[in-house]
Chains A and B, each alone.
Chain A
Amino acid sequence: MELKEKIIGKSLLLIALSSVMILGLITFFIFEQGIPLISKVGPLNFILGERWVPSKGEFGIFPMIVSSFWVTAGALALGIPLGLACTIFLAEWSPPSFAMVLRPAIHLLAAIPSVIYGFWGLVILVPLVRDRLGGPGLSILSGSLILGFMTLPTIISISEDSLKALPPTYKQGALALGATHWQTIWRVLIPAARSGIVASIILGMGRAVGETMAMIMILGNAVQMPSSFLDSARTLTTNIGIEMGYASGDHRQALFATGIVLFLIIMGLNSLAIFLSRRRMGS
């Protein structure tokens, strides 16, 4: 029996280690490939440079950092209100029979491959934006709209879980004190579930920053500094995705260096989010 436990324990340790090891390997590899180029170009030139012309040896990714920011911000501007409204309805208002239909439908949103979102956006949304609002249609606005929908399942399922995990006494107490249903939700339940909701938004943001395939199809991938929501743009992920196939030498390393910046941004965002949500819990 003891032997069996030992074997199981060690096998599980091995398997667990292998997954962490893969993370370590990936991290090591992108840094090993990317750092030489960053030091060659200079970290400031690389991050703040406004021109990306690999054939001339110019590697500046500032427009892509800015574009990533705008696309993600746009996605959250759509995803947060829509996601929270949906969560509150599902958790508090929806009749159970309706929730039984709505919830799987939302989970299904997460199961749709991103290339389908991209294709749908390209065929339906892009011409709409082009004809109604102008510009090439392949734009930050179209990208943000699609990404907003893509973040919904993450935001809804995690924040709904955190609302449902609250002790029922919170709701009962608030209602007993004479608060209306809406007051209970807005003043008691949501503040109490805040850390989970923040976590859901952060995870949605991670989805938005990391999305590649749909963005390659919808953003138009121009390497310019975007000046409006109707401009074409290129995010950090799509820069890697679109140029990977043909890149070699410095160009290839520059794409890995782009990966490093992406990596650091996501690490920074997540750390900040964890820090914020923990502080909130503590006070």
Chain B
Amino acid sequence: MDKRTSTKSQAPDSKQISMTKNQYSKQNRLGYWILGFDDYLGFGFWKLGILAILFLPLVLATGPLMGCQRSKPEITVAGSTSVEPFAELLAEGYMKNHPGSNIYVQGGGSTAGIVAARTHAANIGMSSRSLLPDENDLHPITIARDAIAVIVHPKNPLNDLPPARIVSIFSGQIKNWKEAGWESHPIVVVTREEGSGTRETFQKLVMKNEEITLAALVQDSNGAIRQVVSNDPHTIGYISLGLVNEKVKAVKISGVEPSVANIEVGRYTLVRPFLFVFDAEPAGMAKAFLDFVLSPEGQKLLEKEGLVPATFKVH
């Protein structure tokens, strides 16, 4: 009796509820199928809890993506592991000048960087090799030039190697340091992995048609090669000139020391471009960052790290 009166007094409400309920059950066949009930308005908090748990990952995943579009200015720069350490320095410099903005620098490799620029996974792609013919639709901008240095252990007495000797060492024709003018010990050649911009440049400019020996140790970054060469006196490798430190020795090539001065006058020719790759004409914050990189301040930063400024014409 009581129950009936109470229902009656709330009649308009319950009518509305049952209508909505019907609409829901019709519209949410998928929900019915998944959860096995269509009592959408009668459910308790625990059901809401289950739904929340099921959808929480989704919400969490989309949150940052949505936030990304309207929050403070930020860009992603991705690609060549050779350019990465320099890009990080530049990003630091830029962020110091523009508080509140963010630049994320990621590695992955030249090819990955070019792909990232094309697919917009990154605002700027970094490449340490020139673009291939099928990548010509992109906009490459040279931010600096980098020399590749052939490095040995400081204990190695050889300071100067002619190009032909370097080729015969790296191709495996000479296998013992004795043949190169040192003690009798097998030469351990260290190279970068296939597809690396540094390796491609070394192949093109030094090895030409000769193949780097398959017996060579392969390391996947400049730092790893430097690490291996600094640990083993009988190794020889090649890395970015900017990353040569006191633990390894850069050899002269036919008497020419790898130095910024020699690159600028065109005597040291083992040089490659460092590129920022854009999908379209640079705009917005990406352009602001590029302008900073090409500004005297940015170029000076790179020069201090052993790179050759982009503004300088190399012969």
Q: Which of chain A's residues have a CB closer than 8 A to the CB of B188? A: 136
Q: Are B50 and A127 in contact (CB under 8 A)?
A: no
Per-residue contact bits, chain A 221-259, to B (CB 8 Å; 1 contact, 0 not):
111100000001010000000110111100100000000
Q: Are B194 and A251 in contact (CB under 8 A)?
A: yes
Q: Which of chain A's residues have a CB closer than 8 A to the CB of B36? A: 3, 6-7, 10
Contact A7/B37 with A221-B218, A246-B195 known, Cβ cut-off 8 Å: yes
In whole angstroms, what is the CA distance A232 to B219 when docked?
Answer: 12
In whole angstroms, what is the CA distance A92 to B203 when docked?
Answer: 60
Q: Are B54 and A11 in contact (CB under 8 A)?
A: yes
Q: Are B215 and A221 in contact (CB under 8 A)?
A: no
In whole angstroms, what is the CA distance A199 to B296 when docked?
Answer: 64
Among the listed stretches B20-28, B110-118, B242-250, B275-283, which one makes contact with chain A, having 4 or more residues with CB under 8 Å of it? B110-118
Which of B107, B218, B231, B232 contacts A245 (CB under 8 A)? B107
Please indicate which of the listed interface residues B37, B47, B194 has the most CB atoms of chain A within 10 Å of its own CB. Answer: B194
Please count the residue pairs between chain A and chain B whose beta carbons lie under 8 angstroms apart in the complex.
93
Per-residue contact bits, chain B 52-65, to A (CB 8 Å; 1 contact, 0 not):
00100000000000
Which of A14, A137, A222 contacts B232 (CB under 8 A)? A137
Q: Are A245 and B217 in contact (CB under 8 A)?
A: no
A75 smallest CB distance to B (angstroms): 21
Q: Are B81 and A51 in contact (CB under 8 A)?
A: no
Q: Are A10 and B35 in contact (CB under 8 A)?
A: yes
Q: Are B231 and A10 in contact (CB under 8 A)?
A: no
* B216 contacts A by Cβ under 8 Å: yes
In whole angstroms, what is the CA distance A52 to B214 when docked?
Answer: 8
Q: Which of chain A's residues have a CB closer than 8 A to the CB of B215? A: 222, 224, 232
* B125 contacts A by Cβ under 8 Å: no
Which of A3, A137, A216 contacts B220 (CB under 8 A)? A216
Q: Are B218 and A53 in contact (CB under 8 A)?
A: no
Q: Are B203 and A55 in contact (CB under 8 A)?
A: yes
* A138 contacts B by Cβ under 8 Å: yes
Q: Are B109 and A246 in contact (CB under 8 A)?
A: yes
Interface size in chain B (residues, C-beta < 8 A):
37
What is the chain A residue whose CB lies nearest that of B111? A248
In whole angstroms, what is the CA distance A159 to B233 when docked?
Answer: 44
* B196 contacts A by Cβ under 8 Å: yes
Which of A51, A54, A127 contacts B231 (CB under 8 A)? A127
Q: Which of chain A's residues have a CB closer than 8 A to the CB of B196? A: 246
Chain A binding site: helix, strand, loop or mixed by DSSP? helix
What is the chain B residue whose CB lies nearest that of A254? B194
Contact A7/B115 with A127-B231, A222-B217 known, Cβ cut-off 8 Å: no
Per-residue contact bits, chain B 99-112, to A (CB 8 Å; 1 contact, 0 not):
00000000111111
Q: Which of chain A's residues have a CB closer than 8 A to the CB of B35? A: 7, 10
Q: Which of chain B's residues have a CB closer than 8 A to the CB of A56? A: 211
What is the chain A residue whose CB lies nearest that of B227? A122
B286 smallest CB distance to A (angstroms): 23
In whole angstroms, what is the CA distance A223 to B217 when docked?
Answer: 8
Per-residue contact bits, chain B 196-211, to A (CB 8 Å; 1 contact, 0 not):
1100100100000001
Contact A136/B47 with A6-B36, A10-B36, A246-B109 known, Cβ cut-off 8 Å: no
Contact A136/B37 with A54-B195, A232-B217, A246-B109 known, Cβ cut-off 8 Å: no
Q: Are A222 and B216 in contact (CB under 8 A)?
A: yes
Contact A138/B228 with A3-B37, A7-B37, A247-B195 known, Cβ cut-off 8 Å: yes
In whole angstroms, what is the CA distance A148 to B118 when docked?
Answer: 44
* B193 contacts A by Cβ under 8 Å: yes
Per-residue contact bits, chain A 25-56, to B (CB 8 Å; 1 contact, 0 not):
00000000000000000000000000111111
Q: Are B232 and A55 in contact (CB under 8 A)?
A: no
Q: Are A242 and B107 in contact (CB under 8 A)?
A: no
Q: Are A53 and B211 in contact (CB under 8 A)?
A: yes
* A209 contacts B by Cβ under 8 Å: no
In whole angstroms, what is the CA distance A224 to B218 when docked?
Answer: 11
In whole angstroms, what is the CA distance A55 to B196 when docked?
Answer: 11
B155 smallest CB distance to A (angstroms): 14
* A126 contacts B by Cβ under 8 Å: yes
In whole angstroms, what is the CA distance A243 to B200 when docked?
Answer: 13
Which of B112, B115, B195, B214 contacts A223 (CB under 8 A)? B214
* A220 contacts B by Cβ under 8 Å: yes
In whole angstroms, what is the CA distance A106 to B37 when docked?
Answer: 49
Q: Which of chain A's residues have a CB closer than 8 A to the CB of B203? A: 55
Q: Are A223 and B218 in contact (CB under 8 A)?
A: yes
* A130 contacts B by Cβ under 8 Å: yes
In whole angstroms, what is the CA distance A130 to B233 when docked?
Answer: 11
Enumerate 8 A-B pairs (CB-CB under 8 Å) in ascending A order. Answer: A136-B232, A138-B217, A223-B218, A242-B193, A245-B108, A246-B112, A248-B111, A251-B195
Interface residues of B (CB under 8 A from A): 34-37, 47, 50, 54, 81, 107-112, 115, 188, 193-197, 200, 203, 211, 214-220, 224, 227-228, 231-232, 235
Q: For the A-B complex with A234-B218, A245-B112, A248-B115 known, give 8 more contacts whose Cβ atoms are closer than 8 Å.
A: A14-B34, A53-B211, A136-B235, A221-B220, A243-B194, A247-B111, A247-B194, A247-B195
Interface residues of A (CB under 8 A from B): 3, 6-7, 10-11, 14, 51-56, 122, 126-127, 130, 136-138, 216-217, 220-224, 232, 234, 242-243, 245-248, 251
